[in-house]
Chains A and B, each alone.
Chain A
Amino acid sequence: VKQDYLGLFHQVLDHEVVDANNIPCGMVDDLQLEGGPGGELRVTGLLIGPGVWSDRLPRLFCKLARLICGDDVKFVPWSEVLVITERVKLRSRAEDLGLDLAEKKASRLISRIPGA
């Protein structure tokens, strides 16, 4: 990256999140900021999950998306972010941050198939 600042919109939002073992564990669906006009603005964490991205849809589609995908929201503190390249790499493993729950649920179904 050439510039000496971090463009939250272009370099963080809607980027893939990978855990300490480089396993994908979601996308940066939104960012949580702290502060207000005139004061210091700080990024406090990443927001991940259908409960977050559904809020970015028009109202009708938001309800539909929540009905289908649920409204789960996961908060990942900014201190967990290790490095930002094309993806956002975290310091911890997905399971330590509760980012693997949906995958685990699906895994229970898949494990019933012979050869899984």
Chain B
Amino acid sequence: MKKSLEIFLGILTAMGGFVEIGELVFSTDAGAKFGYSLLWVVLFGTIGIIVFCEMAGRIAAVKEQPVFNLIRERAGFNAGLVTLLAANIVNLLTCSAEIGGVALIWQLLSGWPYRPLILLALLFFLVVTWVFSFQWIERVFGLLGLLMVIYMLTAVYLRPDWSQVAAGFIPQVPQVTSPKDYLVFAYFAVALTSSIMLPYETYFYASGVIEDGWNPADITLNRIIVLIGFPLGSLLAVALVIIGATVFMPRHIEPQLPGAAALATSLVFGKIGVLIALGGMFFAFAGAAIETCLSSAYNLSQFFGWPWGKFRPPGTAARFNLSWIVVFLLSAIIIVTGIDPVSVVEYSIVFSVVILPFTYFPVVLIGGDEDVMGHFANGWLAKTLGWIYVVVVTLAALAAIPLMIVTHGGKG
């Protein structure tokens, strides 16, 4: 009974915590620009995040080794340090964007000025992260993030052409008017993949496995959660693409503000739909803010060998706790300067692609090492998919920044 409840909650929290501000913005915008023709990218990214989180979770459960332990061990100190710095800069940017997103939602709901709301959000995050245990953070924000299901219902009620939706899952390049649009399409394909496979998700997931005290007996639980929870979560991204394609594309609107997607729910559910959507977005963004911030502290602690974890009394993992407090403060400082959270999202998503190969390469190496993992080592499927994704994300990493420059951040 206890195990079934754990599986049920694990699936729901994985689903509710799947979408964050970057995915929301890019999925809706991708639908508005290219209709359903980027849905296959959502599928591709979802398989990728399943492969790597399953692998990282399995390694953490069997060897109690989180991702940055592995990165330093396998990539060495210098390459590991570069990955650590890059990962934590991306985490900082993502956390800033999430805090900005939360302040924007509160502004939409209250009408209060934006900047004081950022400071209020900072206070909220500091108190919640300090007071809540890891399990409470995971469950409260994951489960209440399920309010985002309103987007799935909206997408269904909008009655899209389901045959066209299904056709979108076949890899394709749409017919566009100018050659430059192909580059914009490529930029969106890379950015959408990155928004689904954000590296912090793997760092956080593997650290969470250790926080939750999983062991080799929990390998099946790990598999069930990623194999069911993540695809369900990715249906939210699919719904956002459908909303972009059916609501914004015909009206030639580029929905780059996080609140734009919420407005689409009003077409079906009226004011209550918008309130539920904003509520879901608040819990999804807030959960992601805490996850990125904790992820930075996990990364630092694991790289330098400090005691870490919410499961330890704060005084016995002091550097870990100081780290996440500092990351929250820095994130709030970045966003309170007045930088547009959506621009911050774009940078964080593109720079995330660049560090994906450095993150996933050591994970595939260790996951497949029978000397280390014994009979828990990668099977043929995990091995094949793992290496395919390492190659693809390496190519995406090489293309990401040039594409961002050439397309002016997807604006053409």
A interface residues, Cβ below 8 angstroms from B: 1-2, 14-17, 23-27, 29, 48, 53, 56-57, 86, 102-104, 106-107, 109-111, 113, 115-116
Q: Does B63 count as interface, using CB distance less than 8 angstroms? A: yes
B77 contact from A16, A25, A53, A102, Cβ within 8 A: A53
Number of interface residues of B (CB under 8 A): 30
- Is the Cβ of A27 less than 8 Å from the Cβ of B305? yes
B372: A residues at CB distance < 8 A: 86
Closest chain-A Cβ to B293's Cβ sits at a distance in Å of 16
B interface residues, Cβ below 8 angstroms from A: 63-65, 69, 72-73, 76-78, 80-81, 130-131, 301-308, 314-316, 318-319, 321-322, 371-372
A26: B residues at CB distance < 8 A: 304-305
CA distance A90 to B89 in the complex (A): 34
Answer whether A109 and B305 are a contact pair too, CB < 8 Å, given A14-B73, A14-B80, A56-B78.
Answer: no
Q: Closest chain B residue to A10 by CB distance?
A: B73
- Is the Cβ of B371 less than 8 Å from the Cβ of A113? no
- Is the Cβ of A106 less than 8 Å from the Cβ of B319? yes
CA distance A38 to B215 in the complex (A): 46
Interface SS of A by simple majority: mixed
Answer whether A57 and B130 are a contact pair too, CB < 8 Å, given A23-B307, A24-B305, A24-B306.
Answer: no
Answer whether A27 and B72 are a contact pair too, CB < 8 Å, given A86-B64, A110-B314.
Answer: yes
CA distance A30 to B319 in the complex (A): 22
- Is the Cβ of B321 less than 8 Å from the Cβ of A16? no
- Is the Cβ of A1 less than 8 Å from the Cβ of B77? no
A110: B residues at CB distance < 8 A: 314-315, 318, 321-322
Task: Name the 8 nearest CB pairs between A and B, nearest first.
Answer: A106-B318, A27-B305, A107-B318, A26-B305, A110-B318, A106-B319, A116-B314, A107-B315
Closest chain-B Cβ to A13's Cβ sits at a distance in Å of 8
Interface SS of B by simple majority: helix
Answer whether A116 and B315 are a contact pair too, CB < 8 Å, given A16-B305, A57-B81, A103-B306.
Answer: yes
Closest chain-B Cβ to A89's Cβ sits at a distance in Å of 12
Answer whether A103 and B318 are a contact pair too, CB < 8 Å, given A14-B72, A14-B76.
Answer: yes
Most chain A CB inside 10 Å of its own CB: which residue of B63, B80, B303, B307: B307
CA distance A63 to B130 in the complex (A): 34
- Is the Cβ of A27 less than 8 Å from the Cβ of B315? no
A111: B residues at CB distance < 8 A: 315
CA distance A53 to B80 in the complex (A): 12
A16: B residues at CB distance < 8 A: 69, 302, 305
CA distance A113 to B313 in the complex (A): 13
A86: B residues at CB distance < 8 A: 63-65, 69, 73, 372
Q: Closest chain B residue to A26 by CB distance?
A: B305
Closest chain-A Cβ to B34's Cβ sits at a distance in Å of 42
Q: Closest chain A residue to B63 by CB distance?
A: A86
- Is the Cβ of A113 less than 8 Å from the Cβ of B73? no
Closest chain-B Cβ to A9's Cβ sits at a distance in Å of 9
- Sampled A-B contacts (16; CB under 8 Å): A15-B73, A23-B316, A25-B307, A27-B305, A86-B372, A102-B319, A103-B306, A103-B307, A106-B319, A106-B322, A107-B315, A110-B322, A115-B130, A115-B131, A116-B314, A116-B315
A1: B residues at CB distance < 8 A: 371
Answer whether A113 and B130 are a contact pair too, CB < 8 Å, given A14-B77, A86-B372, A103-B318.
Answer: yes
CA distance A79 to B130 in the complex (A): 40
Known: A86-B65, A110-B314. 11 other contacts (CB 8 A): A14-B72, A14-B76, A16-B302, A16-B305, A26-B304, A53-B77, A103-B318, A107-B315, A107-B316, A109-B318, A111-B315
